Structure 1
Amino acid sequence: MTSSELATTDVPAGASGASGTTTTGPAREKSPGSAEGATRGPARPVTTGDRAHGTFRRDIEGLRGVAVLLVVLYHAGVPLFGGGYVGVDVFYVISGFVVTSVLLREYATDGTISILGFYARRARRLLPAAVLVLITTLLAAWWWLPLQLQWIATQAIASAAYCVNFLLARNSVDYLDTMRRESPLEHYWSLAVEEQFYLCWPLLLLALLGWPRLLRRRRARSTSARSQPARTGPAWLQPARSWWRPGDLRPVLVVVAGVAVLSFALCVWLTATSPGYAYFGSPARAWQLLAGVLIALGAGAVSRLPARLAAGMAWTGLAAVLAAALLFDSTTPFPGYPALLPVAGAALVIAAGCAPHSGGAGGLLALRPLQWIGRLSYSWYLWHWPFLVIGAALLGGHGTIWQNLGLVGGALVAAAGTYLLVEAPLRRRRRAARPWRTVGLAAVASAAVVAVAVPALATKPTLVGPGRPVDTAATLAASADVERDLTRLVAASADAGPVPANLTPPLPEVTTDIPAVFHDGCVVLRITDTGTDHPCGYGDPAAAQTVVLFGDSHAGSWFPAVRRLADERGWRLVVMVKGFCSAASVRFHLDSVNRPYDECVQWREQALRRIGELRPAMVVTSSTNYTFGDPVGVFTDRDQVWTDGWARTVDEIRSTGSEVVLIGDVPWLPPTVVDCLALHLTDARACHGPVSDVVLEPRRRQMIADVARDRGALVVDPTPWFCTSTVCPALVGNVVTLRDGNHISATYSRLLWRVLDERIGLLGA
């Protein structure tokens, strides 16, 4: 997810000054002298040069429409929009510009900024829809996502406090948390970033603007009144004169530019070292908001741009935003340097609109469909992600693009209703509302979210299927031909309907049914860790034979089976497992950190050296065939690169005299498979996956198996233990096989020790 957000900004008419800021919504106030056409749409040709006081910036409204479309299409999985997440960066630039324009106008008119009034306006604009979606999503999760309810409730509380971005950033560095299913509230992270900006920026701006006046007063007090008459402040502060002069705002520009540069440098550094904090953290995102601030501060100068230049800027900026959305994807090191493209693009469009011109992109952005979508952009963004996430669970995790488009279409309907019934009425009443009362109501609204979320935190759902009890463990323990009987159980489960009443462990505990090796310090979970010196020995240290379990987290999922096998055979077991790190000797780009995963290379080399020192009787290795990034370098056949990497690993292990057992990858069901079972207790077949969809990379799987056999390794294909020839059931008997869609549950792994023993036990005899 990851994920995007927006927070559009309401600007009172007459607040645009030279910069021509915008409002959203059909009911906009008009200042004296503002034309009706500025609000309703004029009969004359649309230009972005409409900059009289009170003029509505249709180009900005249209840019909002473009931004939210990019985000929604990206989340719906529409091809070509792999970089649609840049829509959030566009919103940040818009927000920085609009909010700063309003604050500057207020300061020029009143000589100060009402901090309480600003917070009240933000609360009226953002909180009603946000609270409505939060509470509605919590209630929906109570009914449709009971297994995720506690995590969703935690995010709801953090969202109500506008700090969910830090919660997600912290979890993003934990491997087990990164495997957590997507939450319908994750998109609130960027609303939190904006609110943190809104909390700090007015105070800083007021201090920067008030500093010259304070300095002037101090000088006046230190000078004799006879020789130095007191002055009331800089001339630009007088309401009767121009409210903006470049010379007066130059110190503010310098300070803001300096902070923006520091924030961008931090963003680039964190993108390489801690992508989660770079993506979710407000310090690394501040420069995008400050880009809009800089345009607002320099709007007077920008407004004097030649018309032809302004038109070219607008087209260039819009092209840059669209190029980023079309060219970027999950492998782009984002935000980092690439974020400059959409941010600069949005800045060019907004800056161009400050100058009178025709023939620019403003005409395109002023089209009625984009204006309508821009008006609904905030509510649509809030609704679209819950619709997609909850909808995916209802569809069994197999939603097609067309189904996703239907879901976001439903979210658009909900957004229209929210706008008409919640946002617009409250906006019309803004003059009647006193700031302190609005802030108080905002606190009550946030408290209401907490009141709904807290009981959810203490809720432990009891989900019991109506199916006939089955005892998978007893069946396999009593079997004389365990693999034959296991495959029969798999086939029976593929055809069975109801979830067995004696599911083990119970459905609410399946996602936490994680092998102990992940919790006892033996698995390298942090991406940046490279050491292999963890206390990873199990069994008798003086055992005659040592066995090594080596690979990524999928190898770690086999730990319960291999541990039981080692105990039965009297072996010493040593575990060398690192998350996201394939045992194949390949240097690859890890998408989640947006760079080559060199820590994996270092860890793998150290692990292979340790294996050489240990000289174990056998090395059991396994890794996912579905890689989280492409190999680094020039290649024409990815499958061949990975096959060659496995050949090198097998050769190196075999050179030490150790036997090699390569266990193939397990099927990949949707990560919402457990939620699907909770929704389909009477017919688990809705949650099964076709072999053609969930047994990934079949060509690569076969190539790796062939080359490993050629080099003397024993290859074990576990697919028959999970699937029939056509379907992979979500559970076998009374045990869920995959706790998160691709990692074996500890219970099922433990039950597989005998079939594994039949395949590999003789090697270690």
Structure 2
Amino acid sequence: MTTPLIARRVERTPSATRPAVRADIQALRALAVTLVVVYHLWPTRLPGGFVGVDVFLVISGFLITSHLLRRPPRTGRDLASFWARRIRRLLPASLLVLTTTLVVSRLVAPETQWENTARQTAAAALYVVNWRLAADSVDYLAAENAPTPVQHFWSLSVEEQFYAGWPVLVLLLVLLAGLGARRALRAGGPGQPVPERRLGLVVPLGLGAVVLASLVLSIRATASEPASAYFITPTRIWELGIGGLLAAWLAWRGREGVTRHGPTATVLGWLGLAVIVWTGFAYSGAVPFPGWRAALPVLGAAAVIAANAPARLPSPTRVLGVRPVQWLGDVSYSVYLWHWPLIVLVPYATTGGRGLVDDAGIVLLTLALAPATKRFVEDRFRFPRAGTPLRRPYLYAAAGMAVVVGLAGLQIAEVHHREAQARAALDKATTSGDPCLGAAALDDPTACPRTTAAPVVPAPAEAAKDKSDAYPEVSGGKDCWSYQPRFRVITCTFGDPHGTVDVALLGNSHAGQWLPALEVLARQRGWRITTYLASRCASSDVDQRFDTPAKVRRCRAWGRDAVRQIADRHYDLVVVSNRISLPADGLSGSRSVAAYRDGDVTMLRRLHASGAAVVAIRDTPAPLRSVPDCLAENPKDFTVCSGPRSRWRSDDPVAEAAEQVPGVVTADLDDHICGPRTCDAAVGGVVVYFDETHLTATYSRTLAPYLGSVLARALPGGGGPT
């Protein structure tokens, strides 16, 4: 029996043969990780610190391409050897951090975070978490989820995907470089460097074409969908590619690794550093990124690498070549791995949020864990003994990934088991006939005790998923939402398909939260409900401040199209509600509220003119913090999650507009959600919100009698039997 090809290969690089370390690149690493850590700890102090990731990408692209061109791959065996070295360099530390983070999260984080953390951990172990984050970023409700402690692995996923494809590209380009390069490869023999000049222009031109294509895609994707463009690999390849292109250009000119002397190199090095630091302070989360704006930190990093200034004053290499900076650059990978899980998990462990002492502790613990990880994990696996079978790192990688994915799967299974128990408890509570269940508890507070501790229904982890049937995860795939960027009008039908009263539900997600209550009424009164719902986009006739002009136009067009369709179909009743999650485009404060109010007046007049009874539901009070998370963190004292009614209640242009349109009825149900002065996160044993602002489907159903009385007054004849 023959041994597989990969099994016969062995590592040929002895541990003593280690690549030279450039002080300027180590300083760049130190700067990059400092920018990222400071940004994550104190984002208002360094609002553009996220550009540190872009600096890392350029460094990785440069070093990997330099290595590939110094010893160009000729066969699949060479690629396998290259990937084995990447596995040894990156996976041991990353899998250690993922495993530790998953276990600690289970111990200290609220149960509402367990499933999302487990899913992202599994994706991070497989180096595809950036795609999961990209999908979540365009999901309005998923985007509001608390960040997981492994979210920072998105950039490592991009790099690993780059490492998978870039060497193949280099191999193909080397093979296309011409007869002269191939003769040089054969004459050099195994392990001999290839004269870079003999590779000609093919490699730089080929890499340049990929860089250009990725840059164009990045600019277009950032302009159309910046949230997902930030994470996906095609929009980031050009940043790694700039480093690779620089390496190819230097190799072609025979200047790779050559230190440049004179004032030009010094000025170029300082200029590159200055550009990076400037973007760290000048950029912010409001800047569409990456796109062309990423070119500044990317080119700044490339300038420092290209300068390769001498280690003498006033060169940046000399100034930043001091031991503390070089040490930080040396452990920067482990610093990056550890800092974010600590930032996310420490507040759960201390149960008091993050203060200055906590932040200092996070920094110190990161700087303690990083060198230990570097010494005992990174270096331990990075340089194998000569003769080590090439298959070994692949087997270790597969086993390590399987462990992490398996642990994540167990965590998800536990969550699902708990949810099944929670659903059983919910079914029992909702069929018990308890007169104090949910909103009814506020009818007579003296008879119904205040809910101040667990248990509640749904349980916090289940409450986070307790949404209306308009969501596909609830209805089994029936998605009733219009999404950005296109905002097409989408309708769904609920209730009695043969109902004698046709009801339209119009608005964004705060209209959708009333669907469970309307479904209760539809069963009782024979109503047919048609939904016109959009994610985040309010139905007001006003431009709303989305992150691209196209979304601004399409959102307003969706509102107009939905109103026109409703008017053309002559519904008996139209129920409208919206939450203003975005200011009016170009406006803020009271001017934005006034613009929404004027747009709502226009909308309500059109609906009323169609002959339908129109009811505007005043938007519900909003705690603006995750209620399920808070309840899970404080099971013995729910009052921590309560808040003043005056602060939770906000301006509602729809309700104000309804007062200006004769015939339109306003439904204000706040008295059935909050007490006279205080709003609680759980009322009558029921969790009120499934996130920061939206009612749970269970609590919405308990509001059906109160909503029904308002709708009955608006409809001729009361809208059917009660």
Give the TM-score normalised by structure 2. 0.83
**Alpha-carbon distance in structure 2 between the residues aligned to 1:140 and 1:693:** 38
Say yes or no: does 1:169 pair with 2:154: no
Number of positions where the alignment pairs a residue of Structure 1 with one of Structure 2: 687
- CA contact 1:551–1:583 (8 Å) conserved in 2: yes
In structure 1, the partner of 2:6 is none
In structure 1, the partner of 2:628 is 674
Say yes or no: does 1:280 pair with 2:237: no
| Counterpart among 271, 274, 279 of residue 319 in structure 1 | 274
Deviation string 1:398-420 (CA, Å, 9 cap, x unpaired) is 65687556545544433343234
**Alpha-carbon distance in structure 2 between the residues aligned to 1:557 and 1:690:** 21
Match of 2:81, as an amino acid? Answer: G
Q: 3-state DSSP class of the match of 1:121?
A: helix
**Alpha-carbon distance in structure 1 between the residues aligned to 2:181 and 2:305:** 35
| Counterpart among 288, 297, 304 of residue 248 in structure 2 | 297
Q: 3-state DSSP class of the match of 1:84?
A: coil
In structure 2, the partner of 1:547 is 503
How much has 1:366 moved relative to structure 2?
A: 3.6
In structure 2, the partner of 1:526 is 483
- CA contact 1:196–1:282 (8 Å) conserved in 2: yes
How much has 1:128 moved relative to structure 2?
A: 1.5
Provide closer, same or farther for how the CA distance between residues 337 and 240 of structure 1 changes in structure 2, counting only shifts above 3 A. closer
Percent of aligned positions with the same letter in both sequences? Answer: 32
| Counterpart among 450, 456, 464 of residue 492 in structure 1 | 450
Provide closer, same or farther for how the CA distance between residues 125 and 692 of structure 1 changes in structure 2, counting only shifts above 3 A. farther
Match of 1:450, as an amino acid? Answer: V
Provide closer, same or farther for how the CA distance between residues 478 and 136 of structure 1 changes in structure 2, counting only shifts above 3 A. closer
In structure 2, the partner of 1:41 is none
**Alpha-carbon distance in structure 2 between the residues aligned to 1:295 and 1:373:** 25
- CA contact 2:646–2:677 (8 Å) conserved in 1: no
Say yes or no: does 1:61 pair with 2:23: no
In structure 2, the partner of 1:118 is 82
Which has the larger displacement, 719-728 or 119-128? 719-728
Say yes or no: does 1:565 pair with 2:521: yes
In structure 2, the partner of 1:383 is 338
Q: 3-state DSSP class of the match of 2:46?
A: coil
How much has 1:216 moved relative to structure 2?
A: 6.9
Say yes or no: does 1:138 pair with 2:102: yes
In structure 1, the partner of 2:659 is 709
**Alpha-carbon distance in structure 1 between the residues aligned to 2:631 and 2:485:** 35
Deviation string 1:103-129 (CA, Å, 9 cap, x unpaired) is 333349x99994343223222221111
**Alpha-carbon distance in structure 1 between the residues aligned to 2:31 and 2:498:** 63
How much has 1:606 moved relative to structure 2?
A: 0.6
| Counterpart among 535, 552, 561 of residue 579 in structure 1 | 535
Provide closer, same or farther for how the CA distance between residues 720 and 204 of structure 1 changes in structure 2, counting only shifts above 3 A. same
For 1:616-765, what aligned pairs fall within 5 Å after superposition? 616-627=571-582, 630-633=583-586, 637-657=591-611, 658-671=613-626, 673-686=627-640, 688-691=641-644, 695=648, 698=650, 701=651, 705-712=655-662, 713-724=664-675, 727-764=678-715, 765=718
**Alpha-carbon distance in structure 1 between the residues aligned to 2:549 and 2:284:** 10
**Alpha-carbon distance in structure 2 between the residues aligned to 1:587 and 1:490:** 45
**Alpha-carbon distance in structure 2 between the residues aligned to 1:603 and 1:202:** 46
Q: 3-state DSSP class of the match of 1:298?
A: helix
Match of 1:485, as an amino acid? Answer: D
Provide closer, same or farther for how the CA distance between residues 392 and 560 of structure 1 changes in structure 2, counting only shifts above 3 A. farther
Q: 3-state DSSP class of the match of 1:624?
A: coil
- CA contact 1:739–1:745 (8 Å) conserved in 2: yes
In structure 2, the partner of 1:192 is 157
**Alpha-carbon distance in structure 2 between the residues aligned to 1:737 and 1:161:** 37
**Alpha-carbon distance in structure 2 between the residues aligned to 1:648 and 1:368:** 67
How much has 1:242 moved relative to structure 2?
A: 9.1
- CA contact 2:468–2:515 (8 Å) conserved in 1: yes
Say yes or no: does 1:517 pair with 2:473: no
Provide closer, same or farther for how the CA distance between residues 73 and 552 of structure 1 changes in structure 2, counting only shifts above 3 A. farther
Match of 1:518, as an amino acid? Answer: Y
- CA contact 2:506–2:532 (8 Å) conserved in 1: yes
**Alpha-carbon distance in structure 1 between the residues aligned to 2:191 and 2:430:** 81
Structure 2: segments with no counterpart, 5+ residues: 1-12
**Alpha-carbon distance in structure 1 between the residues aligned to 2:194 and 2:410:** 55
Say yes or no: does 1:414 pair with 2:369: yes
Provide closer, same or farther for how the CA distance between residues 286 and 171 of structure 1 changes in structure 2, counting only shifts above 3 A. same
Q: 3-state DSSP class of the match of 2:504?
A: strand
**Alpha-carbon distance in structure 1 between the residues aligned to 2:129 and 2:226:** 16
Q: 3-state DSSP class of the match of 1:380?
A: helix
In structure 2, the partner of 1:155 is 120
**Alpha-carbon distance in structure 2 between the residues aligned to 1:487 and 1:522:** 38
Provide closer, same or farther for how the CA distance between residues 450 and 488 of structure 1 changes in structure 2, counting only shifts above 3 A. same
**Alpha-carbon distance in structure 1 between the residues aligned to 2:129 and 2:93:** 17
How much has 1:567 moved relative to structure 2?
A: 4.3
- CA contact 1:163–1:192 (8 Å) conserved in 2: yes
**Alpha-carbon distance in structure 1 between the residues aligned to 2:436 and 2:381:** 69
Say yes or no: does 1:614 pair with 2:569: yes
In structure 1, the partner of 2:210 is 259
For 1:67-466, what aligned pairs fall within 5 Å after superposition? 67-107=32-72, 114-145=78-109, 146-174=111-139, 177-212=142-177, 243-245=195-197, 248-275=199-226, 278-299=229-250, 301=253, 307-353=262-308, 358-363=313-318, 365-394=320-349, 399=354, 403=358, 406-407=361-362, 409-427=364-382, 435-459=390-414, 460-462=416-418
How much has 1:570 moved relative to structure 2?
A: 4.6
How much has 1:516 moved relative to structure 2?
A: 1.0
Deviation string 1:218-252 (CA, Å, 9 cap, x unpaired) is xxxxxxxxxxxxx656999999999443x744211
**Alpha-carbon distance in structure 1 between the residues aligned to 2:554 and 2:250:** 47
Match of 2:38, as an amino acid? Answer: L
Deviation string 1:12-59 (CA, Å, 9 cap, x unpaired) is xx99xxxxxxxxxxxx9798xxxxxxxxxxxxxxxxxxxxxx763222
Match of 1:536, as an amino acid? Answer: T
**Alpha-carbon distance in structure 2 between the residues aligned to 1:70 and 1:693:** 39
Q: 3-state DSSP class of the match of 2:470?
A: helix
Provide closer, same or farther for how the CA distance between residues 416 and 557 of structure 1 changes in structure 2, counting only shifts above 3 A. farther
Match of 1:492, as an amino acid? Answer: R
- CA contact 1:536–1:575 (8 Å) conserved in 2: yes
Provide closer, same or farther for how the CA distance between residues 674 and 417 of structure 1 changes in structure 2, counting only shifts above 3 A. farther
Provide closer, same or farther for how the CA distance between residues 489 and 390 of structure 1 changes in structure 2, counting only shifts above 3 A. farther
Match of 2:529, as an amino acid? Answer: L
How much has 1:309 moved relative to structure 2?
A: 3.0
Deviation string 1:368-423 (CA, Å, 9 cap, x unpaired) is 54434333321222222222333455567965687556545544433343234322
